[in-house]
């Protein structure tokens, strides 16, 4: 357990609880959170309200996935003694700050956010965009600023959210008698985005190309067997292409011995190394990574009460911090604080 928490830089990160976390989350954020928790005051937000912004008619899906995401977190090594796990909908200051921030962000600014534009097209909302979805970057700015986070680990698709957050920080601070909000910077993961097993640029549950952290040994083997390689590599003796070959992208992301992977690549490019053999090596590596995670996860999910207890304790702590920020903003705006 860390002792000098007050001098450590604060991180806020989180996920929408809309499905099981997968290898893409592991590479892109979970692995990084496990190491960052030692050197930062790390808050991890289960963003159920944000999950509802595009699941308004399916609240059960979001509610049911809260414990699933918690089990994913703990099974990969996020430690509730070193990270604070909290629930967005149980932190009213986040919703109140969102209401205050909405008044200093124009509609055209919201409509200009490239990630939101892309998601609208992808989700096929067309003319029926939920209002809550449209303004979720403002709500995310409320999340980040309420915790006074200076560091936000994100994928590159979230950079527009950080930019919009800092615009809100500056505008709001200029309106307050005393600045209360802290600007933040993005911490980009040093590994690129993990492609799906089919070679699609992004691993995503909804695209059906993901391997979840709780995948069974058979599911893992099947995913590796079906993995996209080099379609031009017909015979073992043919020289193969490593670039765009998902098996090698995964070996780079997961195999602990980089020199060994480099030697495999050279051999593959020269010819004489078969896809089957490369896939066997990757399969062994993924099975070894996921077996302990799957076991821990099964134990954790068997006791949902304990998982919710951990979330409750973290949320109490988060409530103090976020409530304090809200108070300072209200006072700074000159609003009477009647509680
Ligand atoms: N937008 C993030 C996602 O889609 C989840 C999230 C909500 C978040 N609030 C946040 C991430 C604050 C970082 C900081 O996964």
Does 5 score more than 60 pLDDT?
Answer: no
DSSP string over 241-270 = --TT-HHHHHHHHH-S-HHHHHHHHHHHHH
State the pLDDT confidence band at 255, using cuts at 50, 70 and 90. Answer: very high
Q: Does the C-beta of 242 come closer than 6 Å to ligand 1?
A: no
Average predicted confidence (pLDDT) for the chain = 94
Q: Report, as an integer, the average pLDDT of 188-205.
A: 84
Q: What digits encode the pLDDT tens for the residues 58-69?
A: 999 999 999 999
- What kind and span of H or E run contains 307? helix 304-333
pLDDT tens for 163-172 read 999 999 999 9
Task: Please identify, by atom number, the ligand 1 atom nearest to the C-alpha of residue 154.
Answer: 13
Q: Which two tokens stand for residue 77?
A: 């090594």
Residue 264 has pLDDT above 80, yes or no: yes
CATH of domain 5-195+304-333: 3.40.50.620
Q: Is the pLDDT of residue 208 over 90?
A: no
**Above 60 in pLDDT, residue 145?**
yes
**Which residues make up the CATH 1.10.240.10 domain(s) of the chain?**
217-298
Average pLDDT over residues 189-216: 87
The total of other beta-carbon atoms located within 10 Å of residue 125's CB is 14
Mean pLDDT across the stretch 321-326? 98
CA–CA separation, 318 and 321 (whole Å): 5
Distance 232 CA to ligand 1 centre (A): 40
Largest Cα–Cα separation, the chain: 77
pLDDT value of residue 3: 55
Which residues lie below 8 Å from residue 14, measured CB to CB, with a gap of 6+?
44, 45, 46, 47, 88, 143
b/e string for 4-20 if b means 16 or more Cβ within 10 A? Answer: eeeeeebbbbbbbbbbb
What is the DSSP pairing of strand 151-154 with strand 185-188?
Answer: parallel
Indicate if ligand 1 lies below 6 Å from the C-beta of 94.
no
Q: Which residues contact 167 (CB under 8 A, 6 or more apart)?
A: 105, 109
Give the residue among 55, 157, 144, 143 at the shortest CA–CA distance from 114.
157
Q: Is the pLDDT of residue 317 over 60?
A: yes
Q: How many CB atoms lie within 10 A of CB 297?
A: 22
For residue 20, which phi and psi values (nearest 5 degrees)?
Answer: -65, 140
Regarding the beta carbon of 50 and ligand 1, being less than 6 Å apart is answered yes
For residue 77, the SS3 value is coil
Ligand 1 binding pocket includes 42 (Cβ within 6 Å): no
Residues 266-286 have pLDDT tens digits of: 999 999 999 999 999 999 999
User: What is d(CA 174, CA 6) in angstroms, rounded to the nearest whole number?
Assistant: 26
Tell how far the Cα of 218 is from the centroid of ligand 1, in angstroms.
32
13 ligand 1 Cβ < 6 A? yes
Q: Describe the strand order of the beta sheet including 185-188 as a list of residue ranges.
A: 83-87, 41-46, 10-15, 151-154, 185-188
Q: Which helix (H) or strand (E) holds 186?
A: strand 185-188
pLDDT tier at 229, thresholds 50, 70, 90:
very high
pLDDT of residue 196: 94
**pLDDT score of 73:** 98
pLDDT band for position 313 (50/70/90)?
very high
What's the fold here for domain 217-298? Answer: Tyrosyl-Transfer RNA Synthetase (1.10.240)
12 in Cβ contact with 143 (< 8 Å): yes
Separation between Cα atoms, residue 130 and residue 42, nearest integer Å: 31
CATH 3.40.50.620 residue ranges in the chain?
5-195+304-333
Q: Measured in whole angstroms, how far is the alpha carbon of residue 231 from the centre of its chain?
A: 32
Q: Does the pLDDT at position 91 exceed 90?
A: yes
Query: Tens digits of per-residue pLDDT, 96-117?
Result: 999 999 999 999 999 999 999 9
Rounded-to-integer distance, Cα 239 and Cα 141, Å: 50
Å from CA of 143 to ligand 1 middle: 8
Query: Ligand 1: which of 11, 13, 322 to mutate, most ligand atoms within 8 Å of CB?
Result: 13
Task: Tell me which H or E stretch contains 115.
Answer: helix 114-123
In angstroms, the CA 291 to CA 287 distance is 6
Lowest-confidence region among 156-165, 191-200, 226-235, 294-303: 191-200
Nearest CA, atom 13, ligand 1: 13
Using the predicted structure, report yes or no on whether residue 4 has a pLDDT greater than 60: no
Does the beta carbon of 143 lie inside 6 Å of ligand 1?
yes
- Phi, psi (5° rounding) for residue 4? -90, 55
Task: Report yes or no: 185 and 150 within 8 Å, Cβ to Cβ.
Answer: yes
Question: Is 144 touching ligand 1 by the criterion CB < 6 Å?
Answer: yes
Quote the CA–CA distance of 287 and 198 in Å, as a whole number. Answer: 19
Say if CB 164 and CB 109 are below 8 A apart. Answer: yes
Whole-model pTM? Answer: 0.93
């Amino acid at each position: 357990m860390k002792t000098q928490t007050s001098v450590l830089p604060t991180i806020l990160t989180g996920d929408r609880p809309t499905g099981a976390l997968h290898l893409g989350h592991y590479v892109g954020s979970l692995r990084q959170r496990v190491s960052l928790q030692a050197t930062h005051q790390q808050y991890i937000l289960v963003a159920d309200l944000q999950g509802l912004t595009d699941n308004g008619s399916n609240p059960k899906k979001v509610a049911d996935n809260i414990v699933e995401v918690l089990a994913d977190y703990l099974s990969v090594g996020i430690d509730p003694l070193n990270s604070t796990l909290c629930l967005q909908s149980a932190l009213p200051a986040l919703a109140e700050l969102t209401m205050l921030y909405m008044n200093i962000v124009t509609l055209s600014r919201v409509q200009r956010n490239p990630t939101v534009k892309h998601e609208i097209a992808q989700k096929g909302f067309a003319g029926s965009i939920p209002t809550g979805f449209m303004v979720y970057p403002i709500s995310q700015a409320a999340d980040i600023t309420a915790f006074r986070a200076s560091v936000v680990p994100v994928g590159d698709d979230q950079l527009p959210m950080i930019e919009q957050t800092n615009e809100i920080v500056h505008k709001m601070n200029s309106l307050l008698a005393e600045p209360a909000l802290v600007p933040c910077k993005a911490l980009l993961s040093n590994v690129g985005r993990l492609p799906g097993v089919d070679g699609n640029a992004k691993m995503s549950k909804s695209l059906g190309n993901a391997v979840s952290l709780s995948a069974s040994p058979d599911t893992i083997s099947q995913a590796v067997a079906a993995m996209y390689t080099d379609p031009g590599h017909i015979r073992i003796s043919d020289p193969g292409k490593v670039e765009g070959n998902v098996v090698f992208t995964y070996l780079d992301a997961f195999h602990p011995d980089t020199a060994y992977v480099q030697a495999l690549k050279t051999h593959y490019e020269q010819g004489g190394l078969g896809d089957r053999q490369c896939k066997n090596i990757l399969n062994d590596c993924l099975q070894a990574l996921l077996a302990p995670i799957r076991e821990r996860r099964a134990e954790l999910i068997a006791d949902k009460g304990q998982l919710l207890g951990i979330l409750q304790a973290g949320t109490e702590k988060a409530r103090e911090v976020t409530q304090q920020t809200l108070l300072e903003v209200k006072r700074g705006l000159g609003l009477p604080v009647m509680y």
